[in-house]
């Protein structure tokens, strides 16, 4: 993993600094530049909605935070610590497996296609990682799983397998499964895009509930403009691998300054 040596690590107070910080992050696939010197800061407990046309790098931001993609250049900090590189004797080196796993423990992710484990019941899906990764006893993990599944409204589907659940229910299990790891940052990657329209509401309601009840920083890539408007503290409009415009939802959705933002929102409006 290459790290730009010109970017110095600025010490950040773990308590008060931003929860997530991208510094001049570059990412390209061959000649296609996906992220272009991206700078982004997300405060603790902040809820950020990421919107933008397809190919603008929205999902890549989340996948990089989850360490599913490598970065070409720049730095990402989570909870004040560098994510893809680490400090060894004052020198910045690429993260080893141990550091990556410690950092991943702070982050949870929900995917567009749920990615539930098909050979496990809803409850087992939620218990697996707490048992194997956090070392919880079966009883503790089960209690946690039951509590979270009730929270997402699936207390009566504990022993159902993913194939026996609707898309909306599967996505709610996936949210509970991610929360079972008690992450500080939750990433939602187009979590309603694969759902039938009538199932979108139940998933969004769960996300509202998490936002209200849990102290967790949230980054959400979404095409649900109405939801982004109501839910987010800040909306970032991505275009060409950069943040083209950002601000509180009232500003972005009501009086966007940038012409591209206006075009995008107009196109979204026409599509609905």
Partner 1 sequence: MAHRPLVVCAILAFTAGLVIASFAGFREFLPGLLEGALVTIEITVGGSVLAVICAFVAALSKMYGAWPVRGLAVIYIEVFRGTSALVQLFWLFFVLPRFGITLEPLTVAILALGLNVGAYGAEVVRGAVSAVPRGQWEATVALNMSRFQALRRIVLPQALVPMIPPWGNLFIELLKTTALVSLITISDLAFKAQEMNATTYRTVEIFSIVLVFYLAIAVLITVAMRSLEWFAARGLARGPAQ
Q: Is 188 in the site for partner 1 (CB under 8 A)?
A: no
Q: Is 101 in the site for partner 1 (CB under 8 A)?
A: yes
Tokens 């909605």 -> residue: 49
Rounded Cα gap, residues 184 and 107, in angstroms: 6
Options 22, 77, 114, 238; binder of partner 1; rule CB under 8 A: 114
Options 87, 164, 193, 263; binder of partner 1; rule CB under 8 A: 164
Helix (H, G, I), strand (E, B) or coil at 28: strand
The nearest distance, CB 270 to partner 1, in angstroms, is 30
The nearest distance, CB 78 to partner 1, in angstroms, is 13
- DSSP symbols for 92-141: EEE--HHHHHHHHTTEEEE-TT----TTS-HHHHHHHHHHHTT---HHHH
Q: Is 45 in the site for partner 1 (CB under 8 A)?
A: no
Q: How far is CA 233 from CA 78, 96, 207, in A?
A: 19, 34, 14
The nearest distance, CB 29 to partner 1, in angstroms, is 16
Joined tokens for residue 19:
């929860």
Q: Is 263 in the site for partner 1 (CB under 8 A)?
A: no
The nearest distance, CB 114 to partner 1, in angstroms, is 6
Nearer to partner 1, 66 or 268 (CB): 66
Q: Which stretch binds partner 1 (CB under 8 A): 136-144, 163-171, 203-211, 234-242?
A: 163-171
Continuous segment of H or E residues that includes residue 188 = strand 185-189
Q: Is 163 in the site for partner 1 (CB under 8 A)?
A: yes
Q: Is 109 in the site for partner 1 (CB under 8 A)?
A: yes
Q: DSSP letter for 215, please.
A: -
Number of residues this chain uses to bind partner 1 (CB under 8 A): 31
Q: DSSP letter for 11, please.
A: P
Q: Which stretch binds partner 1 (CB under 8 A): 16-24, 170-178, 222-230, 237-245?
A: 170-178
Angle at 146 between CA 141 and CA 149, to 5 degrees: 120
Q: Is 104 in the site for partner 1 (CB under 8 A)?
A: yes
Q: Is 184 in the site for partner 1 (CB under 8 A)?
A: no
Closest listed residue to residue 83, CA positions, set 60, 106, 115, 51: 106
Q: Quickly count: other Cβ atoms within 10 Å of residue 167's Cβ.
A: 17
Q: Is 267 in the site for partner 1 (CB under 8 A)?
A: no
The binding site for partner 1 (CB under 8 A) comprises 66-68, 97, 101, 104-105, 107-109, 111, 113-119, 128-129, 132-133, 161-164, 170, 177-178, 181, 194
């Amino acid at each position: 993993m290459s790290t730009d040596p010109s970017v110095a690590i600025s010490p950040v107070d773990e308590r008060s600094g931003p929860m997530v910080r991208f510094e001049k992050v570059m990412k390209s696939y061959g000649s296609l530049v996906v992220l272009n010197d991206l700078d982004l800061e997300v405060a603790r407990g902040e809820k950020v909605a990421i919107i933008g046309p397809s190919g603008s790098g929205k999902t890549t931001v989340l996948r990089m935070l989850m360490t599913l993609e490598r970065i070409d250049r720049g730095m990402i900090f989570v909870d004040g610590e560098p994510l893809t590189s680490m400090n060894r004797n004052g020198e910045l080196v690429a993260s080893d497996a141990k550091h990556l796993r410690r950092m991943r423990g702070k982050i949870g992710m929900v995917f567009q296609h749920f990615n539930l484990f098909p050979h496990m019941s809803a409850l087992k899906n939620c218990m697996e990682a707490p048992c194997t990764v956090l070392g919880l006893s079966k009883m503790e993990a089960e209690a946690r799983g039951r509590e979270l599944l009730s929270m997402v409204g699936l207390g009566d589907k504990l022993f159902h397998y993913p194939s026996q659940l609707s898309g909306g229910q599967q996505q709610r299990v996936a949210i509970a499964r991610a929360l079972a790891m008690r992450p500080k940052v939750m990433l939602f990657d187009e979590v309603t895009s694969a759902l039938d329209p009538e199932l979108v509401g139940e998933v969004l309601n769960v996300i509202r509930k998490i936002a209200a009840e849990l102290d967790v920083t949230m980054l959400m890539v979404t095409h649900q403009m109405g939801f982004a408007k109501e839910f987010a503290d800040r909306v970032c409009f991505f275009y060409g691998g950069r943040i083209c415009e950002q601000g509180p939802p009232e500003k972005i959705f009501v009086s966007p300054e940038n012409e591209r933002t206006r075009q995008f929102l107009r196109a979204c409006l026409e599509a609905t």
